[in-house]
Amino acid sequence: MDTVLVVNAGSSSLKFEVFAVSGSLTRLVKGKMEGIGTAPRLAIKGAGGERLADASYPNETVADLPAAMRLVGEWLRERHDGRLIAVGHRVVHGGPNHMRPARIDETLLHELERYTPLAPLHQPSNLAPIRALLERQPQLTQVACFDTAFHRGRDPMADHYAIPAHYFEEGVRRYGFHGLSYEYVAGRLAEIAPDVGGGRVIVAHLGSGASMCALRSGKSVESTLGFTALDGLPMGTRCGQIDPGVLLYLLQQRGMSAAELQDLLYRESGLKGLSGASNDVRDLLASEEPGAALALDHFVHRIGLNAGMLAAALGGLDAFVFTAGVGENSPVMRERICRKLEWLGAKLDSRRNAAGELLISGDDSRLAIYAVPTDEELMIARHTYALLAA
Ligand code: ADP
């Protein structure tokens, strides 16, 4: 049995999945190494959710991502049948030119390392396992799947900020992210409702990171994320759109350092900052505190505003799609957001919404509304296999 390994590496965790490839792709294993460098713990489940591993390790054994990758590789070799034919990696930044996944070699890896200043919190973690594998198993095919690639086909005009043009040339552009999720959802929509998928659609990826994308005929036209994963919607701990003047104020009047500012914007803001309590929508929904209500009201408000902006980019709207943690699992949040979309013709069907059906709008709704589970790992596995087959 040939298999493809999908790797999604973050700053202190390494998520991975194994797919069998024989014509179609079948998920076999899903695992996560958490607490890398602090309290490493490896949990692996099989296709049916059965526990295959659950073990803690001393810090010295799994001090960094390369060590985690090595350990996961050893587990797979010892405990898992199958011949690994390729590894697909989630890479947050593909820079201005990569419109599709790419086979990794030393040249590409060098290029991707150059984008680290554009995504300092994610890119080094994404690239560390690639570098480790390239050194240990240079013959193994590795594929980089970029979160930015899906947005690259759009009108480059949309990628500009209104600052002097030379900054654009050096890479200060609106890249857009969550592309693997949008691509997967666009593909699902084309299967579920081809007419709708071919029209004007907003997909709202509402997880701990959150953004929205305007799609025409399944292709990205606009999105709420820009140069970094900070723009657009408020997120679990990230601020979303903010007047740059606020940053100048914090730097100049409050004497904040760049590092403090980065920490504030990435880790202490969003739902967490507004509520003063939690970054998790479940906690906020369960809370009686006014801060929790404010955070959720603001989140819904901003989604409504951004929906208007993206509908304008599309010149109208045929469908709105919810996906990721909040979008897939919270009928209450979907309902609250849909109220903001009534002027666009949204009428939710409360029974379908509560039941978590794919189509959740009423038959008399001018706007079709869907809740579609995303699957970024499957998207990466597909790309990796496709590139190999080509
Ligand atoms: P990520 O992959 O970006 O870490 P997810 O897509 O898993 O995030 O989304 C995580 C978020 O989804 C959680 O922080 C939580 O707020 C939210 N979430 C998950 N399940 C529910 C639910 N049943 N109701 C409300 N929010 C939920």
pLDDT tens across 281-319, in order?
A: 999 999 999 999 999 999 999 999 999 999 999 999 999
| CA angle, residues 243, 249, 251, in degrees to nearest 5 | 115
Question: Mutation test of ligand 1: which of 32, 205, 208 has the most ligand atoms closer than 8 Å to its C-beta?
Answer: 208
Q: How far is the CA of 280 from the centre of ligand 1 (A)?
A: 7
Question: Mutation test of ligand 1: which of 281, 322, 377 has the most ligand atoms closer than 8 Å to its C-beta?
Answer: 281
Q: What is the DSSP letter of 138?
A: T
- In angstroms, the CA 169 to CA 155 distance is 16
Q: Atom 23 in ligand 1: which residue has the minimum CA distance?
A: 329
- In angstroms, the CA 148 to CA 82 distance is 31
Reference 119, options 86, 88, 95; nearest CA is 95
- In angstroms, the CA 251 to CA 253 distance is 6
Tokens encoding 290: 């006014």
Residues of the chain with pLDDT under 50: none
Q: How far is the CA of 161 from the centre of ligand 1 (A)?
A: 31
Question: Would you state the torsion angle of the CA atoms of residues 125, 127, 132, 137, taken in this order, to the nearest 10 degrees?
Answer: 140
The values of phi and psi at residue 197, to 5°, are -60, -30
Q: Atom 4 in ligand 1: which residue has the minimum CA distance?
A: 208
Instruction: Summarize pLDDT for 160-201 with one digit per residue, the tens.
Output: 999 999 999 999 999 999 999 999 999 999 999 999 989 999
Q: How far is the CA of 329 from the centre of ligand 1 (A)?
A: 7
Classify 16 as helix, strand or coil: strand
Site residues for ligand 1, CB cut-off 6 Å: 207-209, 236, 280-282, 324-326, 329-330
Q: Atom 13 in ligand 1: which residue has the minimum CA distance?
A: 280
Q: In what order do the strands lie in the sheet with 200-206?
A: 219-223, 210-216, 200-206, 319-323, 368-371
Atom of ligand 1 nearest to the CA of 236: 14
The one-letter amino acid code at 7 reads V
Catalogue the E-assigned strands of 37-139.
41-46, 51-56, 83-91, 102-103
Burial of residue 22 (number of CB atoms within 10 Å: 0-12, 13-18, 19+): exposed
The values of phi and psi at residue 257, to 5°, are -85, 165
Residue 69: how many other CB atoms lie within 10 Å: 24
Contact assessment for residue 347 and residue 365, using Cβ atoms and an 8 Å cutoff: yes
The one-letter amino acid code at 364 reads D
Structure confidence at residue 49 (pLDDT): 93
Catalytic residue among 64, 105, 147, 375: 147
Strands 14-22, 2-9: pairing kind? antiparallel
Catalytic (active site) residue 147: yes
Structure confidence at residue 335 (pLDDT): 98
pTM value?
0.96
Q: Atom 12 in ligand 1: which residue has the minimum CA distance?
A: 325
**Which residue pairs, CB below 8 angstroms and at least 24 apart, start in 194-197?**
196/318, 196/319, 196/368, 196/370
Structure confidence at residue 23 (pLDDT): 81
Q: How far is the CA of 236 from the centre of ligand 1 (A)?
A: 9
Contacts of 355 (CB under 8 A, 6+ apart): none
Classify 41 as helix, strand or coil: strand
Structure confidence at residue 74 (pLDDT): 92
Name 87's bridge partners.
5, 142
Structure confidence at residue 121 (pLDDT): 84
- In angstroms, the CA 218 to CA 315 distance is 15
Contact assessment for residue 10 and residue 24, using Cβ atoms and an 8 Å cutoff: no
- In angstroms, the CA 300 to CA 190 distance is 27
Q: How far is the CA of 164 from the centre of ligand 1 (A)?
A: 39
